[in-house]
Structure 1
Amino acid sequence: MSKQDYYEILGVPRNASKEEIKKAYRKLALKYHPDRNKSPDAEEKFKQISEAYAVLSDDEKRRIYDMYGHEGLSGRYTEEDIFKNFDLEQILKDLGFGFNFGDIFDTFFGGFRSNPRKVIDVEITLEDVLHGKRLDVDMPINTSCSACNGTGAAPGTKKRTCSICNGTGQVRRVIDQSGFRTFVSIEPCRTCSGKGSIIERPCNTCNGTGQVTSYKKVNVKIPKGIEDGSMLRLDNDTYIRINVKEHEYFKRINDDILYDLYLTFPQLVLGTEVRVPTLDGNEKLKIPSGTQVNTIFRLKGKGLPRYNGFGRGDELVRINLKMPRELTEKQKELLKELDKEFN
């Protein structure tokens, strides 16, 4: 089932300003907040509008979404990452909700996780981004601890029921009370981390987790055009984070690559023909006479593949002046003569 367009969810045009997006979110958040709207689908609707706001209020996430849609976001961010680094807490406080967004975030994603997310960092080259790559990674696998039979308690001991939540793993908290209105938040119990029980003596083998970790070698396909920092999901709680190494010659700018070409003063004034490196090998480039510093020449289709798209970006060749550190006496005299001619 395809996800609904974020702009449609908030009811704003694609060219909406940040202020318009924020205003639309505030209006919908007030309408669908689960503590004020008791309809069965209110919580899901609130999550949808919050997710839309989290993306469209962030310049980088919005850029990726506008270019590549939901697939582009899922290729770079996990669902939890979408909700990082934005100002929902302050907005909710402004609306009269006296708690932070982490409380709702816990509700959205199950509160305290028994299996925290695991991230495996892998490093690839810009050439790997161009061609794609397959690589083997060691994926951690959690299995039940045989020493404690998965309880997390030391052999011969037992867990005890949490006295704060009475074993439910949840507690109720009044978050706003004014006049005849009372709003109650149900959230994971922080004393027992939402588990309902407390381990007095943790198992030494698994350190109280009830699980031990082994590793399985998995062959992973790295798609063409992938961006630095992208996350690829291996299973429900394991991800690969892509780290693209800095290149000796090129700097990445979205799907384009930038190469700084250094030329001498005579080459710029008189014009020349040079060979410049590309990811596909060297290419001839004609430099017209009178070319200025910071001029950019574009080599079409010599950039990187478009992630989840077609075609390639371009290579941008930026012109720089190659300034000599030392000059011979003859070179100095020639430059003085040239300076007289110019003046």
Structure 2
Amino acid sequence: MSKRDYYDVLGVARGSSAEDIKKAYRKLAIKYHPDKNPGDKQAEENFKEAAEAYEVLSNQDKRQRYDQFGHAANAGSAAGAGGYGGGMNMEDIFSQFGDIFGGSNPFEGFFGGGGRQQGGGRRVVRGNDLRIKVRLTLEEIANGVEKKIKVNKQVICKTCDGSGAKDQSAFQTCKTCGGSGAVRRVTNTILGQMQTTSTCPTCNGEGTVITSKCNVCHGDGVVRGEETISINIPAGVSEGMQLSMSGKGNAAPRGGIPGNLIILVEEIPHETLKRDGNNVIYDMHISFIDAALGTSIEVPTIDGKAKIKIEPGTQGGRILRLKGKGVPEVNSYHRGDQLVHINIWTPKALNREERELLEKLANSPNFKPNPGKNEKSFFERMKEYFE
């Protein structure tokens, strides 16, 4: 299922201010908070969706990239390693509350203190993100491609199904927290009794302890393995661009949330074509005879061969444009052009007959360099093209 537009998720317009975005998220966070909607899976998904949208739209750089590329890509630095949210866990989400609610989680102690826990008192654990490089040809970049790649990573232990226990009887409710995953302490102060809540030190927020661990994963719930992942690369990506796949990174211990898979795009240089933004450049060499008489020549393009007409009297340095034969923009119908640079090739060695013919033509006025007043320079033609 495709993701909803982040602006639609928060119910704000694209030009909304940072304050309007913050207010919209605050409203949704209160409405869908898991402690306010215990056992409601849809509310929990809405809560995570809103947090993911806010995580992007509240960051100026991420918002700018999202406005340009949508969900397809994240061309960013290491700070954007998690892509656009995707695999955010509860710890990530509640860390936002210092900004939204003024320094703390307003639900701690109000709905029962389970703000950083997941159903049944279990603390949510998130797997590590995984980074890979994908090398793409110019044709794959121009048309988009699906890549199936084998990734070596942490996977769920099949023996214990990720639980980390030898069997179900190996689970026991934590005696320290009584299965809640959290411990509460009451302190007497001059202002009265103050209650604080913290993660249970015995079960680390799990709510249960394992008395007999799995013999394969030794209680971790994950093992080293290999997974074949299908990656859909959108058309128009560029060198250094990062894509993020939610939940395709390393598996998390004992049924936690998997990390993200970060895909770094690397372009394979083309044999004859050179990419310049969304345009493609091809250097074509023709003889001065073809330039003088005119001809038709096939040139390579991303989509195959294309025939172009060389007009009689074509000068070296001329640029011919093949409209729409370049690379498309990401998430756009616009496509660049192919620019064909004309270069006049001069033979280095001539036989006697060829030399005699050229010497006869050398005295002809048509073979004397005599640029007309209307002849434009290479730079003038380039300027004219881009304008």
TM range (shorter): 0.5 to 0.7
One-letter amino acid of the counterpart of residue 123, structure 1: V
Question: Please, which of 116, 141, 160 is the counterpart of residue 127 of structure 2?
Answer: 116
Taking the aligned partners of 2:25 and 2:48, their CA distance within structure 1 comes to 9
Aligned to 2:242: 229
Larger Rg: 2
Aligned to 1:337: none
Residue 79 of structure 2 corresponds to residue 79 of structure 1: no
Q: CA deviation at 1:217?
A: 4.4
Question: Please, which of 335, 347, 350 is the counterpart of residue 312 of structure 1?
Answer: 335
Aligned to 1:15: 15
Q: CA deviation at 1:91?
A: 1.5
Partner-residue secondary structure (3-state), 2:87: helix
The within-5 A match list for 1:240-319 is 240-246=261-267, 248=269, 256=278, 300-313=323-336
Residues 105-154 of structure 1: per-residue CA shift (max 9 Å, x gap)? 7669x8423x73663624222523224344442356534337xx976358
The TM-score normalised by the length of structure 1 is 0.52
Q: CA deviation at 1:279?
A: 5.3
Aligned to 1:329: none
Aligned residues: 279
Aligned to 1:55: 56
Q: CA deviation at 1:31?
A: 4.6
One-letter amino acid of the counterpart of residue 55, structure 1: V
* Percent identity over paired residues: 30
Residues 168-203 of structure 1: per-residue CA shift (max 9 Å, x gap)? 3345689xxxx99x9987x86564243223347755
One-letter amino acid of the counterpart of residue 301, structure 1: G
Aligned to 1:88: 96
Partner-residue secondary structure (3-state), 1:80: coil
Partner-residue secondary structure (3-state), 2:164: coil
Aligned to 1:325: none
Q: CA deviation at 1:79?
A: 1.3
One-letter amino acid of the counterpart of residue 87, structure 2: E
Instruction: Structure 1: give runs of 5+ residues left out of the alignment.
Output: 262-275, 290-296, 318-343
Aligned to 1:27: 23
Partner-residue secondary structure (3-state), 1:231: strand
Taking the aligned partners of 2:338 and 2:92, their CA distance within structure 1 comes to 33
Q: Judge conservation of contact 1:145–1:211 (CA < 8 Å) in 2.
A: no
Partner-residue secondary structure (3-state), 2:219: coil
Q: Judge conservation of contact 1:120–1:238 (CA < 8 Å) in 2.
A: no
Q: Judge conservation of contact 2:242–2:262 (CA < 8 Å) in 1.
A: yes
Q: Judge conservation of contact 2:164–2:213 (CA < 8 Å) in 1.
A: yes
Partner-residue secondary structure (3-state), 1:230: strand
Taking the aligned partners of 2:231 and 2:28, their CA distance within structure 1 comes to 41
One-letter amino acid of the counterpart of residue 97, structure 1: S
Taking the aligned partners of 1:247 and 1:315, their CA distance within structure 2 comes to 18
One-letter amino acid of the counterpart of residue 215, structure 1: E
Residues 21-70 of structure 1: per-residue CA shift (max 9 Å, x gap)? 2x224434555554999865987776555433322233443234334545
Partner-residue secondary structure (3-state), 2:226: strand
